[in-house]
Chain A
Amino acid sequence: MTSLLDAPVKLRLDASDNQRTATVTATDLDGLLRRVAQRDADAFAAFYDATRARVYGLVTRVLRDRGYSEETTQDVYLQVWRTAESYDPASGTALAWLLTLAHRRAVDRVRSEQAASQRESRYGAATVEPPTDNVSDAVVASDERRQVAACLDGLTEVQRECIELAYYQGMTYVEVSERLSANLATVKSRMRDALRGLRNCLGVR
């Protein structure tokens, strides 16, 4: 099975109303990020356009608030601009580096907001939301989305629940175990099994 990482990632090079569609691979993203490290503003704009829907979508999924999500997305890309030098291709793809950074910031934000407000009233529901389907093929290729959706469907209900709570709601695995009244070892093994399933299904080596 070929890895999706090697597959072309379609993206839109945005020149406001003069939009072109181009095909950029994961390797190209790495190259763009290296140019960003050299203070190349055009490369930064192209990097943003290639990845903005993934970042904003993930941040929104975690924060579920438009204002917070915009602020956090802006912070994420400012951090990209300032710390692109710290990206090391040996430790993973630029896309994984970016989304790790975005997830970290979103989780930090959700935890600090929750500390300040009532967790249950605002972020209570442990439901798995259906994937959003409001992006064009130009942003994320539809065959990739289909494959990911199929892989998520392939998880068991309890595995999906753990991913939902831990990854998308920003809970620690300790909080997940409390929520599900399951012991810590069970929660850890569900998370591990969920990731192993997704990884195999998506062909990540």
Chain B
Amino acid sequence: MTQPHDGVQDGDLLGLAVPYALHALPDDERDDLEGRLAHAALNEADAFYDEVRAVRETMALVSSASAAEPPADLRQRLLSQVAGDNVRALPTARQESGRRRRTTLLTAAAAAVIGLGAVGVGLSLWPQPAQPSTAQQVFAAPDVHTISGDIPGGGTATVVFSRDKNAGVLVMNNVPKPKPGTVYQMWLVSDKGETSAGTMDDKAVAPSTTAVLADLGNSKALKFTVEPGSGSTQPTGQVVAELPLV
């Protein structure tokens, strides 16, 4: 091998594909490897992910050797559980090509929204002020949907929305503050382009932040970018996340 080694790690990415695919890397090595893959030459990363894919297909077949019937009552428990579950976790913006995607994990944000949703529905049964808030209307709508995605820099964005009400509520949990001199800007994406749906500066981004999206129109997605100053008229900065509104 003539290529340089970095740190204590062997410089050969491909040699780590099997332990990576088998979940046999210590967490810190896995994180380090993923960081290196993100900056590796495309053909090198592709070779790595091809190997990972082949290992996973192989072990999927090998699973027939350990097959065992689960208890019969598990089926019913599971079916009842999903029948009442309308949480959806979606991948965030596809910033990287091909297979360089990470699975979105459901996090506390979505769970928090479910709680919030239940409160919203509960509240609607009580005597209300003449005009319930937009958020209450969304949570009580028969066609309420929930979409959630990880923010690559940390945290989760969740949108609860209703097409009937033409509105949505955005909940951001544990999202890092934007760097000084920049804001997060939200964009509703439709066939006609992107419309600003507001900005959040470092003071607006708390551990848990809520914002109302008053007019969804024909938008198909909610996109987040980092914009300079107090925002832009069109997205110019790095796309942080994109949540499909379907």
Question: Given the known A-B contacts A52-B75, A103-B23, A195-B58, are A188 and B63 also in contact in the complex, defined by CB atoms under 8 Å?
Answer: no
Q: Are B89 and A82 in contact (CB under 8 A)?
A: yes
Say yes or no: is B60 at the interface (Cβ < 8 Å to chain A): yes
Say yes or no: is B85 at the interface (Cβ < 8 Å to chain A): yes
Convert A185-205 into 0s and 1s, putting 1 for each residue whose CB lies closer than 8 angstroms to a CB of B: 100100110010011001011
Question: Given the known A-B contacts A56-B68, A57-B67, A167-B24, are A5 and B61 also in contact in the complex, defined by CB atoms under 8 Å?
Answer: yes
For A, the interface residue count at a CB cutoff of 8 angstroms equals 77
Q: Are B70 and A92 in contact (CB under 8 A)?
A: no
Convert B72-103 into 0s and 1s, putting 1 for each residue whose CB lies closer than 8 angstroms to a CB of A: 00110111011101111111000000110101
Say yes or no: is A86 at the interface (Cβ < 8 Å to chain B): yes
Q: Are B66 and A57 in contact (CB under 8 A)?
A: yes
Convert A96-130 into 0s and 1s, putting 1 for each residue whose CB lies closer than 8 angstroms to a CB of B: 11111101100100000000000000000000000
B67 to chain A, nearest CB (A): 4
Contacts of B54 in A (CB 8 A): 195, 199, 204-205
Q: Are B62 and A92 in contact (CB under 8 A)?
A: no
Distance of A144 Cα from B64 Cα, bound (Å)? 7
- Range of interface residues on chain B? 35 or more
Contact residues of A with B, CB < 8 Å? 4-5, 14, 39, 41, 44-45, 48-49, 52-58, 60-61, 69-70, 73-74, 77-79, 81-83, 85-86, 88, 90-93, 95-101, 103-104, 107, 131-132, 134-135, 139-141, 144-145, 148-149, 151-152, 166-168, 170-174, 176, 185, 188, 191-192, 195, 198-199, 202, 204-205
> What are 15 of the A-B contact pairs (CB < 8 Å)?
A14-B75, A54-B63, A69-B70, A78-B81, A86-B90, A99-B59, A100-B60, A103-B59, A135-B68, A144-B61, A152-B65, A167-B59, A198-B62, A199-B58, A202-B61
